[in-house]
Amino acid sequence: MHNTHTLLVADDHPLLLKGLVDELESKGYNVIAQASNGLEALELIIEKSPDIVVLDIQMPRLTGIEVIAKAREAGSSPRFILLTSYKEEGLVYKAQQLGISGYLLKEEPFSEMQKCLQKVSAGGTYFSRTFEQLVEEGINPQLQRLKLLSSSERTILRMMAQSKTSKEIAEELVISLRTVQKHRSNMIQKLALESDGDQWTSWLTKYREMILAL
């Protein structure tokens, strides 16, 4: 047997779940439970206390991210590996903040899963090259730009990421609409965005999780 650590695997696609579990078991991994949605995964994590949990990031009832957060709240501390088809920087940032042990793309060969499990089983971390590129080329540069914002600008930016209008922000902060618009203009310059149009809206959506964590 390659690994004596216990595993739980969760994915909402039955064929993918079966294929992954079969492959893991054929390689000698000890899969003690499997789940087809996030809520079931959370319940099994608490009940079975697996050493390592392999989670699809997008599942019904609870996402992989939500499962990790709720498991930690419940006092469970397995090592988490996220398995995903998504390359969104917002999701990568949120996963990074949760202190996951591994992040793999579903398109990668099973040999990558084996490398990941070997590293995680030994107490290390293993992230796909795509994850590292998103952090190095997307997330870290944005974090550096966000540090340029003043406290007031960060507050307003968080409210914008919550889909509040400039008028709503002005009323809530008891400042003038013109002051909000001035802060917005300054933020666009500091964040190196080209305009206050579609690019701004797209940027807010893309980095929403990062902004809300400010």
pLDDT tens track of the chain, all 214 residues? 456 899 999 999 999 899 999 999 999 999 999 999 999 999 999 999 999 999 998 899 998 989 999 999 999 889 999 988 866 677 777 777 788 899 898 888 899 999 999 999 999 989 888 777 777 877 788 888 888 999 999 999 999 989 899 999 999 999 999 999 999 889 988 888 876 667 788 888 877 877 887 7
Report the topology of domain 148-212.
Arc Repressor Mutant, subunit A (1.10.10)
Which amino acid is located at 67 in the chain? V
| Under 8 Å between Cβ of 70 and 43 | no
Q: Which two tokens stand for residue 114?
A: 């084996």
- What pTM, to 2 d.p., does this model score? 0.74
Where exactly does CATH 3.40.50.2300 map onto the chain? Answer: 6-136
What is the CATH code for 6-136?
A: 3.40.50.2300
| Under 8 Å between Cβ of 24 and 9 | yes
Give the strands of the sheet with 6-10, arranged side by side: 30-35, 6-10, 52-56, 79-84, 102-105, 126-127
| Under 8 Å between Cβ of 86 and 58 | yes
Where exactly does CATH 1.10.10.10 map onto the chain? Answer: 148-212
